[in-house]
């Protein structure tokens, strides 16, 4: 295993220590339980926006804490869900009195732990809602997931909801917005190589010298198909068509019912993309793919969107939701409207994303 680390067990702790030293003006770190939070938190009257998940996907989520994005992020060990304790303590630290929104990627451990954290907060009188991100069209169920996995749309939801929280959206309106981003965003990824979890010390999966995995998950979970390596234009087309031609996707998720004061099943339907839609196109590196290759993917994606009648009105290209050193990429398309465009363009100042601030 070739990594720039000391002991595998110390990776997350030492990463957080480095972040604390590097960005004291942006974030503070709380240890045991571990979380990253805005240096200027709590912000009175603002909904506290929190996400979290296993480490190894950097800059997500800790790199998205700051003005215009998250108030706090809870990193678990690599590819391991954070605990309810982390999530609840983070919420109490950034609570500005307007409630807490948890953005939860759809992995069984994350979903369960964020629900437990929400229950802990409610017992202390803090209003909290959990909104799920489940945008990966590659597979229905997966290794750690019932239903679709939460991937690239998470980054976009954190940016857009972060801007809205900054603007004064209340908890109800912010929850509705986050749900809207989720149902309008779709993603799919692929890998050329496996990642290596530090504690495991060996590749998560084996791929032959001329093989790739289409539909990979961000923890190296199996995708749709293992196949021979192809030119990137063909790879881009496979990912893009799976996304664009995906049909209405219906499933039931759990959200908190503030009227009945209980968890309730909510039916969600992702509307398919339609000719004439405006979209944000997000081309993401899985971590080990160099910058030179990403515009080549975007070039083909642009052509496909044009052919399908989708207009790319915004884009994001880079390594934002990664899988350690995995070589590969993912594509996310999010249907945009005026509200989403305005929020996307709003100032943001985090480690991983910053503009106009």
Catalytic residue set: 57, 219
Is 232 a binder of a copy of itself (CB under 8 A)?
A: yes
- Determine if the peptide bond prior to 59 is cis (ω within 30°): yes
Helix 171-184 and helix 338-345, axial crossing angle in degrees, nearest 10 = 100
Question: Does residue number 81 form part of the binding site for a copy of itself (CB under 8 A)?
Answer: no
Between CA 228 and CA 209 the distance in angstroms is 9
Q: Decide: is 288 part of the binding site for a copy of itself (CB under 8 A).
A: yes
Count of beta carbons in the 10 Å neighbourhood of residue 163: 22
Instruction: Tell me whether residue 85 or residue 325 sits nearer to a copy of itself (CB atom).
Output: 325
Answer yes or no whether residue 292 interacts with a copy of itself by CB under 8 A.
yes
Q: Which of 33, 12, 29 is nearest to 20 (CA)?
A: 29
Q: Which of residues 10-29 bind a copy of itself (CB under 8 A)?
A: 11, 14-19, 21-22
Helix (H, G, I), strand (E, B) or coil at 297: helix
- Position among 45, 168, 271, 295 found at the interface with a copy of itself (CB under 8 A): 295
Stretch that binds a copy of itself, among 80-88, 143-151, 335-343, 347-355 (CB under 8 A): 347-355
Which of 40, 119, 170, 233: binder of a copy of itself (CB under 8 A)? 233
- H-run or E-run covering 190: strand 185-191
First to last CA, the chain: 39
- For the window 133-172, what string marks contact with a copy of itself as x by the rule CB under 8 A? ----------------------------------------
Helices and strands, counts by H and E, the chain: 8, 16
Element (H, E) at 226: strand 225-228
Residue 330 in the binding site for a copy of itself (CB under 8 A): no
85 touches a copy of itself (CB under 8 A): no
Instruction: Name the minimum Å distance from CB 153 to a copy of itself.
Output: 19
Least separation in angstroms between CB 270 and a copy of itself: 26
CB of 291 to a copy of itself, least distance (A): 4
Tell whether residue 289 is a contact of a copy of itself (CB under 8 A): yes
Q: Which residue stretches of the chain are H helix?
A: 11-22, 84-94, 108-123, 153-167, 171-184, 232-244, 294-307, 338-345
Minimum distance, C-beta of residue 118 to a copy of itself, in the bound complex (Å): 27
Q: Are 36 and 87 in contact (CB under 8 A)?
A: no
Distance, CA of 245 to CA of 111 (rounded, Å): 28
The smaller minimum CB distance to a copy of itself, of residues 181 and 305, is found at 305
For the window 167-206, what string marks contact with a copy of itself as x by the rule CB under 8 A?
A: -------------------------xx-------------
Half-sphere exposure of 311 (CA within 13 A, CB side): 6
Q: Which of 32, 276, 290, 338 binds a copy of itself (CB under 8 A)?
A: 290
> How do 311-318 and 35-38 pair as beta strands?
unpaired
Strands 328-335 and 311-318: unpaired
Contact with a copy of itself (CB under 8 A): which of 137, 324, 336, 346?
A: 324
> What is the contact surface with a copy of itself in residues (CB under 8 A)?
2-7, 11, 14-19, 21-22, 55-56, 58-59, 63, 78, 192-193, 209, 212, 229, 231-233, 235, 287-299, 302, 315, 317, 319, 322, 324-325, 327-329, 349, 354-357
């Amino acid at each position: 295993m070739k990594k720039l680390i000391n002991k595998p067990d110390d990776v997350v702790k030492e990463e957080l220590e480095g972040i604390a030293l590097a960005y004291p003006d942006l974030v503070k770190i709380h240890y045991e339980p571990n979380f990253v939070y805005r240096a200027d938190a709590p912000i009175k009257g603002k909904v506290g926006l929190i996400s979290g998940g296993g480490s190894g996907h950097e800059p997500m989520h800790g790199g998205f804490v700051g003005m215009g994005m998250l108030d706090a992020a809870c990193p678990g060990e690599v590819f391991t869900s954070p605990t309810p304790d982390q999530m609840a303590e983070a919420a109490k630290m950034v609570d500005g009195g307007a409630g807490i929104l948890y953005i939860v990627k759809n992995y069984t451990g994350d979903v369960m732990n964020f629900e437990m954290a929400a229950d802990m907060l409610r017992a202390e009188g803090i209003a909290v809602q959990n909104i799920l991100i489940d945008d990966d069209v590659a597979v229905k169920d997966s290794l750690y997931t019932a239903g679709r996995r939460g991937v690239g749309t998470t980054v976009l939801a954190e940016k857009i909801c972060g801007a809205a929280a900054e603007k004064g959206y209340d908890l109800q309106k912010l929850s509705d917005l986050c749900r809207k981003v989720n149902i309008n965003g779709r993603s799919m990824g692929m890998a050329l190589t496996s990642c290596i979890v530090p504690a495991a010390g060996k590749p998560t999966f084996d791929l032959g010298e001329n093989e790739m995995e289409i539909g990979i998950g961000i923890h190296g979970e199996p995708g749709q198909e293992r196949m021979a390596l192809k030119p990137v234009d063909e790879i881009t087309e496979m990912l893009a068509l799976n996304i664009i031609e995906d049909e209405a996707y219906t499933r039931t998720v759990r959200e908190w019912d503030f009227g009945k004061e209980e968890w309730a099943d909510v039916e969600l339907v992702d509307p398919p993309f339609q000719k004439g839609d405006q979209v944000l196109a997000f081309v993401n590196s899985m971590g080990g793919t160099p910058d030179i290759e990403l515009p080549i993917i975007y070039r083909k994606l642009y052509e496909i969107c044009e052919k399908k009648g989708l207009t790319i009105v915004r884009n994001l290209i880079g390594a934002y939701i990664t899988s350690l050193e995995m070589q590969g990429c993912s594509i996310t398309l999010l249907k945009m409207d005026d509200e989403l465009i305005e929020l996307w363009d709003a100032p943001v100042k985090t480690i991983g994303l910053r503009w106009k601030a």
